[in-house]
Amino acid sequence: MSNTPSDKPAMTAPDASMSMGATPTPTEPTPPIPQPIDPSKQPQPTTMPPMPPKKGMSKGLLWGLIGGGIGLIVVIVAIVLAVIFLGGPSRDDYRQAIRVIDEINDSSNTSNISSSSDPEELRKNIDDIIDKMDSGNEKLVKMKALQDPEAKSLYDDYRRLYDKAKPQLNDLVEAVTAYRDMLSCRRTSATYISTYNKTAQEVGAAFDSTYKNCLSSINKYTSSDIDSIKLYAKAQKTYYQQIRSYMMARANKDYSVSYPVYPSVTTPHTKIFSEFKGKEADSKLRELRTYMRNKTLRG
C-alpha cells in the first residue's frame, strides 16, 4: 500500500524559541481564582459578658469597720489617759492638795460653837463642821497627788486617826451647855461682897448666898460622864473655893493670902474638839502637808 501524503502526519516547523542556545521565556503565574466566602465561617466579633449589678456593703463588713474605728479610739484614749495618770503628780497637783488640806484645817474652827445660844443652833454648827471636814477628806483622797504612794500612806494614817476620834463630837453639845452654865459664876464674880466690919463666917455666908446658883451647876458637872466637863468643873469649883477662903482671910485681916489665879484648864468643848481632831491626827495631816510642800519645791 502506498503512503499518501494525507496519511502522514504533518511536520510542524520548529519554534524559533527552541533553537539552539535560546533561553526559554518564563511564564507569569496565574493568580488564584477567588473563592466564594461562606458567611457562617467568618470570625464573629467578641462580645463582653454582662456586668453584674453592684452590691452594697454587707452589714457584717460595716459593723466590722465601725467596731474597728471605736476600738482605735479606745486605744488612743487609753494611751492619753496612761500618759496623764501614769506620769505621776505634778507640782500643781501637790499645790491643789495643799489647798484642800488648808480647807480642812479651816473647817475645824470652833470659834462659833461657844457663841451659839440655842442647842439646835449649836448642833447645826457642829454638824456643819463635821460635814466640811468629811467633804474635805473625801475630796483630798480623790486628788492626783494621792497617787503618790508616800502621800497616800500618810493620808491613810491621818484618816484612820480622824475616824477613830470623830465619835467624840457627839459630846460637844453637852460640853458647850455645861460651859455656859459654869460661866455664870464668872459673871457673879462682878458682884461686890464687902468684908468691912464683918467676920470671916459672915463673909463666907455672904459668898455662899451670892454664888449659890452657879456653884450648884458646877457641883453637878463634877460628876459628869464626859471627862473634859468633869475636869473643867472640878477646876472651877477649886477656884471659887479659893476665892471664898481669900475673902474670909481678908475679913480676919490676914493679908498674906494672895488672890487666886484663874485655872488654865481647857474649856470642855475646846478639849473635846482638840481630842476629836487628835494630836496624832493633826500631826499626820501636818506631815502630809509638809511632804507635799517639799514636792512643790523639788518637782
Q: What share of the chain is helix, strand, coil (3-state, %, to 5)?
A: 65, 0, 35
Cell of 134: 468629811
For CA atoms 138, 142, 143, 146, the dihedral sign is positive
Of the two residues 137 and 64, the one the predictor is more confident about is 137
b/e 214-232 (16+ beta carbons within 10 angstroms → b): bbebbeebeebebebbbbb
More confident site: 258 or 81: 258
Compute the mean pLDDT over every residue in the chain, rounded to the nearest whole number: 80
Give the per-residue pLDDT at 68: 72
pLDDT at 223: 95
Nearest to 126 by CA among 164, 94, 171, 88: 171
Query: Has residue 59 got a pLDDT over 70?
Result: no
Between 212 and 78, the more confident residue is 212
d(CA 244, CA 211): 10
Q: Which residue has the higher pLDDT, 100 or 9?
A: 100
Tens of pLDDT, residue by residue over 160-204, are 998 888 888 778 888 988 998 898 898 888 888 999 999 999 999
pLDDT of 29 over the 80 cut: no
Residue 142 CB: number of other CB atoms within 10 A? 8
Per domain, the residue ranges of the chain are 77-168+279-298, 173-273
Q: 16 pLDDT band (50/70/90 cuts)?
A: very low
For 41, counting Cβ atoms within 10 Å of its Cβ (0-12 exposed, 13-18 middle, 19+ buried), the class is: exposed
Digit-coded pLDDT (tens) for 88-138: 899 999 999 999 999 998 887 766 665 666 777 888 888 888 899 999 999
